[in-house]
Structure 1
Amino acid sequence: MESFSSFFDSQTASRNSWSYDSLKNFRQISPRVQTHLKQVYLSLCCALVASAGGAYLHILWNIGGLLTTFATLGCMAWLLATPPYEEQKRVSLLMASALFQGASIGPLIELAIDFEPSVLVSTFMGTAIAFACFSGAAMLARRREYLYLGGLLSSGVSILFWLHFASSIFGGSVAMFQFELYFGLLVFVGYMVVDTQEIIERARLGDLDYVKHALTLFSDFVAVFVRILIIMLKNSAEREEKKKKRRG
Structure 2
Amino acid sequence: MESYFQSQSGYGSSWNFDAFKNLHEISPTVQSHLKQVYLTLCCALVASAVGSYLHILWNIGGFLTTLACMGCMAWVLSTPPYEEKKRLGLLMAAAVFEGASIGPLIDLTIQIDSSILVTAFVGCAIAFGSFSAAAMFARRREFLYLGAFLSSGVSILFWLHFASSIFGGNAALFKFELYLGLLVFVGYIVFDTQQIIEKAHFGDLDYVKHAMTLFTDFVAVFVRILIIMLKNSMEKNERKKKRRD
Quote the residue 1:136 is aligned against.
Answer: 133
Quote the residue 1:120 is aligned against.
Answer: 117
- Mapping of 1:1-248 within 5 angstroms? 14-15=11-12, 17-248=14-245
* Shift of residue 116, structure 1, vs aligned partner: 0.2
Write the deviation string for residues 198-242 of structure 1: whole angstroms up to 9, x where unpaired. 000000001000000000000000000000000000111111111
State the secondary structure of the residue aligned to 1:85: coil
Q: Contact (CA 8 Å) 1:43, 1:211: kept in 2 or not?
A: yes
* Shift of residue 19, structure 1, vs aligned partner: 4.3
* Shift of residue 14, structure 1, vs aligned partner: 3.3
**Number of aligned residue pairs:** 239
Instruction: Report the TM-score when normalising by structure 2.
Output: 0.94
* Shift of residue 24, structure 1, vs aligned partner: 2.6
Write the deviation string for residues 91-118 of structure 1: whole angstroms up to 9, x where unpaired. 0000000000000000000000000000
5+ residue gaps, structure 1, are 1-6
Amino acid at match of 2:240: K
Amino acid at match of 1:159: I
After superposition, the CA RMSD in angstroms is 1.3
5+ residue gaps, structure 2, are none
* Shift of residue 20, structure 1, vs aligned partner: 4.8
Question: For residues 22 and 247 of structure 1, do their structure 2 counterparts lie closer, same or farther at Cα, with a shift above 3 Å needed?
Answer: farther
Q: Contact (CA 8 Å) 2:124, 2:225: kept in 1 or not?
A: yes
Instruction: Report the TM-score when normalising by structure 1.
Output: 0.93
Write the deviation string for residues 87-143 of structure 1: whole angstroms up to 9, x where unpaired. 000000000000000000000000000000000000000000000000000000011
Q: Contact (CA 8 Å) 1:25, 1:140: kept in 2 or not?
A: no
State the alpha-carbon separation in 1 of the partners of residues 15 and 244 from structure 2.
51
Write the deviation string for residues 170-206 of structure 1: whole angstroms up to 9, x where unpaired. 1111111111100000000000000000000000001
Identity of aligned residues (%): 72
